[in-house]
């Protein structure tokens, strides 16, 4: 074995024979054991987790710190307290209250229950529907035949979540009927560790979420300076037309087209501006775009008739019923118009049915780039990607 140059520790020097340039197998084995012990000792003393590596070991050091935390403070989160969130912020709050000898009042609002990340106070975790509340939604919509809009107002749950809850319960019932197994223990454990909106047994139902929120419309992103004469009354209807780059209303229409008139579904007018692919609807005021515009009338009735509860609810139910009937008639008429444009051909003795739609291939339908969706064909229109891999095939919106 060749001589080892440089500094050698005393434990290594005793394993190297001095009288011969070769070594026996037992000496090599002893040398390997000494190297292994020296390497273990260096790992315990050296801050780097890889003493023979020249690359950065930040991830390895963080990994060791993570397992150290999991074995000490992190072990608290392995078993959660039933009925309470298992967030770091809440556990810290409970520890501090216990250390200071404070008694926690569950009725008071606590931000630690909705903010799971200590370093990101802007993130707020949203609650989920309880099993009882979800079944109650299904019962009112399917069995009592109530409208989605009415159930949304009664239980303070958004209409899209109402439709999703009904579909989910129907899917669970079908799976139970088919004898399929469901992850019920997992669902119960999740319901114990995250915020849950319960079903109120008596009194008013707590709000699950805001049911009249509106997303920021893309047309309202730019800041526009629009000169208006002092003698003219500039309303939110006019502001929506300015944002949409639409012409101003005529003088005879200014008195009839108001915010109050656009709230009524029968009087709502949908106008479009632009050409080709740039065509879009004219932006309506927020009162007409919110999911529950009929609640504005209810609030006005509360202000004008504060003591007449029966009269207010009667007018509210009438507005809600008229709105649902108008929406049902509108969908039926749209379906009939689409059916008239459709030609069905069923060959004799065939189990297939062919459906044809008449289309107009023009500059307006194909667009300037020739890719308009209103004129399908070999050269025109965008092909469908329903059978292509990697495409989203699940529904992305709910029609309610």
Give the integer Cα–Cα distance in Å for 126 and 120: 15
Ranges 36-45, 138-147, 274-283, 318-327: which has the least confidence: 36-45
Segment 285-303 shows an average pLDDT of: 88
Q: For the whole prediction, is pTM greater than 0.75?
A: no
| pLDDT 10s digits, 364-374 | 777 777 667 67
Q: How confident is the model at residue 22 (pLDDT cuts 50, 70, 90)?
A: very low
**Do 335 and 227 belong together in one domain?**
yes
Q: In this structure, are residues 15 and 29 in contact, taking their beta carbons and an 8 Å threshold? A: no
Q: Please determine, for residue 17, whether its predicted confidence score (pLDDT) is greater than 70.
A: no
**Do 176 and 105 belong together in one domain?**
no
**Do 234 and 150 belong together in one domain?**
no
Q: How confident is the model at residue 397 (pLDDT cuts 50, 70, 90)?
A: confident
Q: Please determine, for residue 247, whether its predicted confidence score (pLDDT) is greater than 80.
A: yes
| 225 φ/ψ sector (left φ>0, alpha ψ -120 to 50, else beta) | beta
| pLDDT 10s digits, 199-219 | 988 778 888 998 988 888 888
Q: Classify residue 112 by burial, with Cβ atoms within 10 Å: 0-12, 13-18, 19+.
A: middle
pLDDT value of residue 360: 78
| pLDDT 10s digits, 152-165 | 999 999 999 999 99
Q: How confident is the model at residue 42 (pLDDT cuts 50, 70, 90)?
A: very low
| pLDDT 10s digits, 45-102 | 445 555 666 666 556 788 888 889 888 888 888 887 777 777 888 777 777 776 666 6
Secondary element (H or E) of residue 344: strand 342-345
**Do 323 and 388 belong together in one domain?**
no
pLDDT value of residue 376: 65
Domain that holds residue 39: 10-68
**Do 248 and 282 belong together in one domain?**
yes
| 120 belongs to a structural domain | no
**Do 37 and 80 belong together in one domain?**
no
Q: Please determine, for residue 386, whether its predicted confidence score (pLDDT) is greater than 70.
A: no
Tell me the residue length of the chain: 400
Give the number of domains in the chain: 5
**Do 244 and 327 belong together in one domain?**
yes
**Do 322 and 251 belong together in one domain?**
yes
| 282 belongs to a structural domain | yes
**Percentage, residues of the chain above pLDDT 90:** 21
Q: In this structure, are residues 4 and 27 in contact, taking their beta carbons and an 8 Å threshold? A: no
pLDDT value of residue 383: 62
3-state secondary structure 226-279: CCCCCCCCCCHHHHHHHHCCCCCCCCCCCCCCCHHHHHCHHHCCCCEECCHHHC
| 204 belongs to a structural domain | no
| 260 belongs to a structural domain | yes
**Do 141 and 190 belong together in one domain?**
yes
């Amino acid at each position: 074995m060749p001589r080892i140059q440089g500094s050698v520790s005393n434990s290594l020097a005793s394993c190297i024979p001095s009288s011969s340039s070769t070594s026996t197998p037992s000496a090599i084995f002893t040398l390997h054991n000494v190297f292994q012990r020296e390497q273990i000792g260096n790992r315990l003393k050296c801050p780097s987790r890889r003493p023979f590596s020249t690359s950065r070991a930040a991830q390895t050091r963080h990994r060791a710190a993570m397992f150290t935390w999991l074995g000490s403070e992190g072990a608290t989160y392995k078993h959660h307290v039933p009925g309470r969130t298992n967030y770091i912020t809440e556990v810290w709050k409970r520890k501090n209250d216990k250390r200071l000898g404070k008694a926690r009042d569950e009725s008071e609002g606590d931000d630690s229950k909705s903010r799971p990340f200590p370093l990101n106070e802007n993130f707020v975790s949203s609650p989920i529907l309880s099993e009882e509340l979800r079944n109650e939604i299904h019962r009112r919509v399917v069995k009592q035949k109530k409208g989605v809009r009415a159930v949304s107002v009664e239980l303070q749950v958004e209409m899209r979540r109402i439709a999703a809850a009904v579909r989910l319960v129907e899917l669970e019932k079908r799976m139970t009927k088919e004898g399929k197994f469901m992850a019920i223990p997992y669902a119960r454990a999740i319901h114990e560790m995250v915020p849950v909106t319960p079903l109120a047994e008596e009194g008013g139902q707590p709000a699950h979420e805001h049911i009249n929120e509106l997303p920021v419309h893309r047309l309202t992103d730019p800041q526009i300076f629009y000169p208006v004469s002092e003698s003219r009354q500039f309303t939110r209807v006019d502001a929506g037309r300015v944002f949409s780059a639409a012409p101003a209303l005529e003088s005879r229409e200014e008195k009839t087209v108001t915010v109050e008139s656009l709230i009524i579904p029968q009087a709502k007018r949908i106008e479009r501006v632009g050409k080709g692919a740039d065509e879009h609807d004219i932006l309506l005021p927020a009162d007409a775009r919110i999911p529950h515009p009929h609640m504005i009338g209810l609030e006005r009735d509360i202000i004008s008739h504060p003591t007449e509860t029966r009269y207010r609810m009667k007018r509210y139910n009438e507005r809600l019923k008229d709105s649902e009937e108008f929406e049902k008639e509108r969908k039926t008429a749209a379906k009939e118009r689409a059916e008239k444009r459709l030609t069905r051909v069923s060959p004799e003795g065939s189990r297939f049915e062919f459906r044809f739609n008449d289309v107009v291939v023009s500059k307006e339908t194909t667009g300037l780039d020739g890719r308009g969706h209103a004129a399908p064909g070999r050269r025109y229109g965008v092909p469908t990607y329903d059978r292509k891999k990697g495409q989203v095939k699940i529904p992305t919106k709910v029609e309610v």
